[in-house]
Amino acid sequence: MVNAWTVASVVAVVAGLVGFFVVLRGSAFVAHAIPNGSFAGAAGASLVGVFALLGALGIGLLGRRGRHDVATALMLVVMLGLGALFVSLNVEYAPEVYSLLFGEILGVSASQLVPTAVLAVLCVVVIALLYRPLMLSSLLPDVAEARGIATGRMELVFLAVVALATTMTVPVVGTLLIFSLMIGAPAAARSFTDEPTRALGLSVVIALLIVWAAIALSYQTNYPVGFFVGTISATSYALGRAWAAWKRTAKIAHQLVPEPASA
Amino acid sequence: MSPTLAAIFAPGFFTSAPVAIAASVGAVAAIVGGVVGVFTVIRGQSFAGEALGDIGTTGGSGAFLLGAGALWGFGVAAVAAVSVMELIGIQRPRGRDLATGIVLGAGLGLAALFLYLDTVYHNTTGATFTIIFGSLFAITSSSIPLVLAFSAVALGLIAALYRPLLLSSISPELAAARGIPVRLVGAGYLLALAVAVALAAFTIGTILRSAGRGWPVSFFVVTLIFAGYLLAGLLRPRRRAPITSLPDPTAAPAQS
């Protein structure tokens, strides 16, 4: 249980960080395709990393500037096709599908702790080193290009970071959990605040809260963790949107009220 | 049979009834997929198609739990997913993927719950694999009318929406200015996409049934598609500005 708690917290921090840039760059499909494709290709957990990296490279190289949804879809189906081939060659693999897809976080062993932590630190270090150019090229790609940042190379590096996060998380928590965290938490955070650094911090906090609540609820009710992570993520986004809408109407009301007084 | 054909295809390939069903259903799915897919690529909604397919898992497992038909589950899940995606209602391509992602995350979360409950109440551990890998939708020759009805619905939707859909796919602003209900058209298109995805799932299920041994058909399908895409990229005449990469005037740097 303690292992599950620790691993989940590490995963949440990485998902909050990497996911923030995923949402900023509008790469939700990539964040879905890389974990999903790599899980299908893995006839054992050891191949997840190889598939994730190859998929990320394929998407980066095939995709044209700023638009890679078709390339992403193609890489995803190619990886899934290879996965179907491997599954058909190795029948005993079937029961593992559920655990790779939805995760078995409550069954995490102590031996999985160290590699997960090492990969997590690597992810955080890469993001920290690239923080400013990555932020600029995500928010204003044209300005970044004008300032001499190779946005194409930045894209590849970013995809590699997503692949790295996938390698570390899929064998432990499953593709569904990592995807929900990478999308739901940062999307909610961005509805709460416009300031990038604050949104990044908030994204990590929300991801941590989601995971902790999900594990506690799952422990209480015996329902799968993935269910709670998926629904709480979506709920947090709905709350974020409601908050943004409420603030907007409050602002408009605030602007409207003094007007009749001054007129 | 000519000797060349005999060398390529296994004996009895053309006389096998399952192969005939798979080939006919596959042909229908290919036609519908080709028509709907053009708009998917123009609109940049590949992710929505993929998500609708995945959400079929939610519908399938939910229907299995209630003892209803898988197709009903799929239909209800697809319509619900399309409605929520449109409700979130972000029109920028970047944000649209985000809405899809939120719906997909919640849908897969529900699927996890349903699959768990399935194994608890129905005591069937194999259900997960069946539902995820499509043989759930396996059909016999008696269901071919159903497949035809499905494809007619999808093609009919596209035909009815053709001109407004094309305009609002290429230039949403122009379409809105001309009084086209862009979001309604978008929702209608997503429904057609959901039907096309259901058909594809049908086909995969059928093919899985007919190809009991050997390499899976889906592997060959994706390999051929991928090779075709690479070939098309090589042969493509150099154009200055392909339609698909027009600058998006609504892409504001700040968030919505």
pLDDT (0 to 100) of residue B254: 45
A61 close to B (CB below 8 A)? no
Residue, of A185 and B58, whose pLDDT is higher = A185
Q: Which residue has the tokens 């939700």?
A: A28
Q: How confident is the model at residue B238 (pLDDT cuts 50, 70, 90)?
A: low
Q: Which residue has the tokens 């292992």?
A: A3
pLDDT (0 to 100) of residue A208: 93
Contact B112 A31 (CB under 8 A): no
pLDDT (0 to 100) of residue B142: 64
- Strand ranges (E), A12-137: none
Instruction: Name the residue facing A230 among B45, B112, B255 (closest C-beta).
Output: B112
CB contacts of B57 in chain A (<8 Å) are none
Percent of chain B with pLDDT over 90: 2
Which ipTM score applies to this complex?
Answer: 0.81
Residue, of B245 and B166, whose pLDDT is higher = B166
CB contacts of B100 in chain A (<8 Å) are 28-29
Measured over the CA atoms of residue A231, residue A233, residue A239 and residue A241, the dihedral's sign is: negative
Percent of chain B with pLDDT over 70: 64
Angle separating helix axes A131-139 and A151-173, nearest 10 degrees: 110
pLDDT (0 to 100) of residue A201: 92
CATH code at A2-262: 1.10.3470.10
The tokens describing A38, both together, are 């790599």
CB burial class (10 A; 0-12, 13-18, 19+) of residue B63?
A: buried
Contact B95 A26 (CB under 8 A): yes
CB contacts of B221 in chain A (<8 Å) are 81
Most confident of A214-223, B50-59, B137-146: A214-223
Contact partners, residue A136, CB within 8 Å, separation at least 6: A143, A144, A147, A149
Closest alpha carbon within chain B to A97: B129
Residue, of A130 and B70, whose pLDDT is higher = A130
pLDDT (0 to 100) of residue B210: 47
pLDDT in tens, A226-241: 888 889 999 998 898 8
Q: Which residue has the tokens 């590490």?
A: A10
Measure A262 CA to nearest chain B CA, in Å: 30
Residue, of B134 and B102, whose pLDDT is higher = B102
Measured distance between the N- and C-terminal CA atoms of chain A, rounded to whole angstroms: 65
Give the residue ranges of DSSP H helices in chain A: 2-24, 28-41, 48-62, 69-89, 94-102, 113-129, 131-139, 141-146, 151-173, 175-192, 196-221, 225-256, 258-262
**pLDDT at B22 > cutoff 60:** yes
Chain B interface mutation, best of A98, A178, A229, A233, highest count of B Cβ atoms under 10 Å: A98
Closest alpha carbon within chain B to A222: B116
Closest alpha carbon within chain A to B113: A227
Instruction: With H, G, I as helix, E, B as strand and everything else as coil, classify residue A193.
Output: coil
